[in-house]
């Protein structure tokens, strides 16, 4: 594939996991909303189930665009080799069952999110230590220490977000924002257009956790007044935040790709523009087609 195309695809697709288990931002969104006592009960599992079809829509649209944009690619195609395919399957024999087991366990109702995370961690640990032997047992304490530091940071983010949410509710800021918006915006379609614009802007200037902490307590009460499901709202929120991962000036994937591929950030950004347009089309579908998020929950 052409270098520009490859840079754009890798940088863009790196953010698609936000709508699939075990997405931490989706969990954080659910925890914040559950603390707001909005009257509509849902679980974190509901959010992951709601994100399945929208996430697949984004994957499919990117795949279709990739195939179409390379239809005139002058590079000679490689012929399918059953022997090579079998060899690749053997090499990935321990990796292939993992996502099937994880997603099947969650969506089949056999595993809760926390249980799936624990089972996955144990599976990977056993494979890496005893099968591939890429990790020595003597290295495990260091890995555990690094994991505890990361989890501690997540708990701090969660604590601050819940405290900030309670402050906003006590100060009745969501109600004041609701009155202001209701005065000037009486149409649900217009509200959703402005909401997408706001979320895209936030994704460009804030990291996703800061955006969740600051905006979710403000947006949820207003969205509920327009009849928008909090589950559907969460999928809209994170679908927009995915685009923020490769939008200047804060897009994390831009800097990671720039460092990894030793290319200027501006070059990486230009390579992502066609894919950004495709994902924007997907966001519009997700926004104005709520059944896509709610049909698996039977809440459409």
- Residue 230 has which token pair? 């909090």
In a domain, 173, yes or no: yes
pLDDT tens, 108-126? 778 777 787 788 888 888 9
Task: Tell me what pLDDT residue 75 has.
Answer: 61
What are the tokens at 138? 């003597």
Nearest Cα to Cα of residue 215 among 170, 182, 177: 177
**Structural domains counted in the chain:** 1
Question: Is 56 contained in some domain?
Answer: yes
Whether 109 maps to a domain, the answer reads no
Any residues with CB less than 8 A from the CB of 84 and at least 6 apart, and which? none
Q: Would you say residue 248 lies in a domain?
A: yes
pLDDT in tens, 33-59: 888 777 677 888 889 889 999 999 999
Q: How far is CA 56 from CA 15, 75, 250, 260, 288, in A?
A: 13, 28, 26, 27, 17
Question: CA–CA separation, 213 vs 29, rounded Å?
Answer: 8
- Indicate the burial class of 212 (C-beta count within 10 angstroms; 0-12, 13-18, 19 or more): buried
Which helix (H) or strand (E) element contains residue 64? helix 44-69
Boundaries of domain holding 71: 3-77+150-297
Question: Domain for residue 97, yes or no?
Answer: no
Within-domain flag for 28? yes
Mean pLDDT across the chain, nearest whole number?
Answer: 83
In a domain, 45, yes or no: yes
| 72 within a domain of the structure (yes/no) | yes
């Amino acid at each position: 594939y052409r270098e520009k195309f490859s840079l754009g695809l890798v940088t863009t697709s790196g953010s698609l996991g936000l709508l699939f288990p075990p997405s931490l931002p989706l969990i954080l969104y659910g925890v914040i909303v559950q603390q707001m006592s909005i009257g509509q009960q849902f679980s974190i599992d509901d959010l992951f189930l709601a994100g399945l079809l929208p996430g697949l829509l984004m994957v499919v649209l990117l795949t279709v665009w990739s195939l179409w944009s390379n239809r005139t690619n002058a590079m000679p195609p490689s012929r399918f080799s059953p022997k090579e395919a079998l060899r690749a399957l053997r090499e990935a024999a321990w990796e292939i069952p993992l996502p099937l087991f994880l997603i099947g366990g969650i969506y089949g109702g056999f595993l809760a999110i926390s249980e799936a995370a624990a089972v996955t961690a144990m599976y990977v640990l056993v494979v890496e230590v005893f099968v591939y032997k890429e990790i020595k047992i003597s290295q495990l304490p260091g890995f555990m220490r690094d994991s505890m530091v990361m989890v501690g940071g997540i708990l701090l983010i969660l604590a601050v977000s819940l405290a900030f949410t309670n402050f906003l509710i006590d100060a009745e800021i969501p109600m004041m924002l609701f009155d202001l918006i209701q005065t000037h915006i009486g149409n649900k379609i217009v509200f959703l257009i402005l909401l997408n614009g706001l979320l895209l802007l936030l994704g460009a200037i804030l990291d996703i956790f800061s955006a969740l902490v600051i905006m979710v307590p403000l947006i949820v009460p207003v969205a509920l007044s327009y009849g928008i499901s909090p589950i559907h709202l969460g999928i809209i929120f994170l679908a927009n935040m995915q685009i923020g991962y490769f939008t200047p000036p804060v897009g994390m994937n831009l800097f990671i790709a720039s460092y990894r591929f030793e290319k200027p950030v501006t070059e990486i950004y230009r390579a992502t523009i066609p894919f950004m347009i495709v994902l924007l089309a997907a966001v519009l579908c997700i926004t104005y087609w709520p059944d896509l998020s709610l049909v698996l929950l039977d809440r459409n």
